Amino acid sequence: GGGGAAQSDLLRARMRLSLQEHLWEFYQNRVNIPTEEQATARRAALDICAELRVFLHAKLPDMPLREMYLSGSLYDDLQVVMADHAQLMVPLILEKNLWSSIPGEDTIMNLPGFWLVRRENLEYFPRNSSYWDRCMVGGYLSPKSVLEVFDKLVAGSINWPAIGSVLDYVIRPVVPSETLTLEVQYETNRKLYVDFLPLLVMEDGTSLIAKPHRLVAERHENLWRQSFRVAETARLRALDQEDGGCRCTCLKVAKAVCKLNPALNRLNASQLTNAILLLSEKEGDWTQEALADRFLHLLRALVGHLEAGRLPCALSPKVNLFCELTEQEVDELGYTLYCALSDPAGLLRS
Ligand code: GDP
């Protein structure tokens, strides 16, 4: 009778309570990075960034770039487990009248969230009127070719041992690396990976990054990836600030879980951030006491999105943030998370 129901309610309440405790303990012990460790990593990245600026100004004064800057979770207090990576943003300057962007849904690829950047006015401004014409492939600005320009510089003509010895770091380009990454050893046991990320900011404010589509196909090679990172991170933080919420904590716990569980490695910060933003539209209680409930809720929501094969970007719903996963990966992620629903604390034990 009623006694049984009450008892199972009690049991469930107790399970939730202990999940809440497990989550905070996991957060303190595994997720959160000591302030000092973050500061040292940021310092190392800044030193490298400063050296590169000097080098590029001296070596390639004509290359139309805006000032490079560092970004990523290390700078937003969203990095988890270890302070070990950052992005070096390299903004290219494009002449407005010579280049235009075409959304992926208007191309034969029909891929929202990716863009082509087309060279315009070739008849009046012939090839080489724009510095970046050297990276033009079939009439489009090729992110692959832009990356190759930086790859030649970074891997070929920068004397990293010399710069490293000045800074007292060991610096070397990671080869092979499809993203162009520097490995910086800045203390005996600490390494930092810095990715070069060429970036275009279009007239309407759209940010496009030179990060290739994961499922490599020749027809995808000219595609630039739209980045929502700045806006989605800002929205998450703003929501937390309005109600003193635990969305960022929930995100960091989820990121750490995906980082520490090999079966969940394929889920990235952007997917998790957007899943939380979508949940926030439906669910109001993000108080610190609700962390366990919201975490469970997030797992369930992810299972649902994986079942549907679709995770809409909260800032641009036509973009499917699962579009670079294979069907098999979607199935495996869904299965792992579905199993975790009955023992969520198990996710924190790996
Ligand atoms: P984390 O690396 O999992 O801690 O997550 P981040 O929030 O730092 O995101 C870094 C990832 O997002 C990298 O894979 C980047 O290539 C990608 N990304 C997309 N847009 C941006 C951007 O505007 N800035 C940075 N830093 N990374 C971006």
pLDDT for residue 9: 82
Ligand 1 atom index nearest CA of 207: 23
Residue 233 CA to residue 341 CA, distance in Å, equals 26
Instruction: Tell me the residue type at 50.
Output: A
Q: Is 56 exposed, middle or buried (0-12, 13-18, 19+ CB in 10 A)?
A: middle
Give 144's contacts (C-beta < 8 A, 6+ positions apart).
Answer: 137, 210, 212, 221, 222
Tell me how far apart the alpha carbons of residues 287 and 237 are, in angstroms, rounded to a whole number.
14
Ligand 1 within 6 A of CB of 32:
no
What separation in Å is there between the alpha carbon of 73 and the centre of ligand 1? 7
All residues at 6 or more sequence positions from 41 whose CB lies less than 8 Å from its CB, including other chains: 74, 83, 84, 86, 186, 190, 192
Return the H-helix or E-strand segment holding 197: strand 190-201
Give, in degrees to the nearest 5, the angle at Cα 259 between 181 and 70: 35
d(CA 299, CA 346): 13
- Residue by residue, what is the 3-state secondary structure of 48-102? HHHHHHHHHHHHCCCCCECCCEEECHHHCCCCCCCCCEEEEEEEECCCCCCEEEE
- Whether the CB of 72 sits within 6 Å of ligand 1: yes
Substitution candidate for ligand 1 out of 76, 227, 228, 266 with most atoms within 8 A of CB: 227
Let me know: does 302 contact 268? Beta carbons within 8 Å: no
Q: Is 310 helix (H, G, I), strand (E, B) or coil?
A: coil
Confidence (pLDDT) at 162: 87
Residue 303 to residue 279: CA distance in whole angstroms: 13
Would you write out the chain's pLDDT as a tens digit for each of its 350 residues? 457 788 888 777 776 669 999 999 999 999 999 999 999 999 999 999 999 899 888 888 999 999 999 999 999 999 999 999 999 999 999 999 999 999 999 998 899 999 999 999 999 999 999 999 999 999 999 999 999 999 988 878 888 888 888 889 999 999 877 778 999 999 888 999 999 999 999 999 999 999 989 886 777 889 999 999 999 999 999 999 999 999 999 999 999 999 999 999 999 999 999 999 999 999 889 999 999 999 999 999 999 999 999 999 999 999 999 999 999 999 999 999 999 999 999 999 87
Q: Does the beta carbon of 271 lie inside 6 Å of ligand 1?
A: no
Q: How far is Cα 125 from Cα 338, in angstroms, rounded to an integer?
A: 57
Residue type at 148 in one-letter notation: E
Predicted local distance difference test score (pLDDT) of residue 291: 97
d(CA 85, CA 333): 24
Q: Is the minimum distance from the CB of 269 to ligand 1 under 6 angstroms?
A: yes
Per-residue pLDDT at 206: 96
- Ligand 1 atom nearest the C-alpha of 197 is 16
Closest ligand 1 atom number to CA of residue 75: 8
The response to whether residue 79 sits with its C-beta less than 6 Å from ligand 1 reads yes
CB 71 near ligand 1, within 6 Å: yes
Answer yes or no: are the C-beta atoms of 45 and 192 closer than 8 Å. Answer: yes
CA-wise closest residue to 225 among 233, 215, 235: 215
Question: What pTM was estimated for this model as a whole?
Answer: 0.94
Distance CA 345, CA 114 (A): 37
Q: ipTM more than 0.90?
A: yes
227 lines ligand 1 (CB under 6 A): yes
- Residue 338 and residue 328: Cα distance in Å, rounded? 15
- Report pLDDT digits (tens) over 287-296: 999 999 999 9
Residue 213 CA to residue 196 CA, distance in Å, equals 16
Residues 112, 320 contacting (CB under 8 angstroms): yes
Ligand 1 neighbourhood includes 230 CB (under 6 angstroms): yes
C-alpha 302 chain-centroid distance: 18
Shortest-distance Cα residue to atom 3 of ligand 1: 269
Q: How far is 311 from 147, CA to CA, in rounded Å?
A: 29
Q: Which atom of ligand 1 is nearest to the CA of 227?
A: 20
Q: Phi/psi class of residue 48: alpha, beta or left (left: φ > 0; alpha: ψ in -120 to 50)?
A: alpha
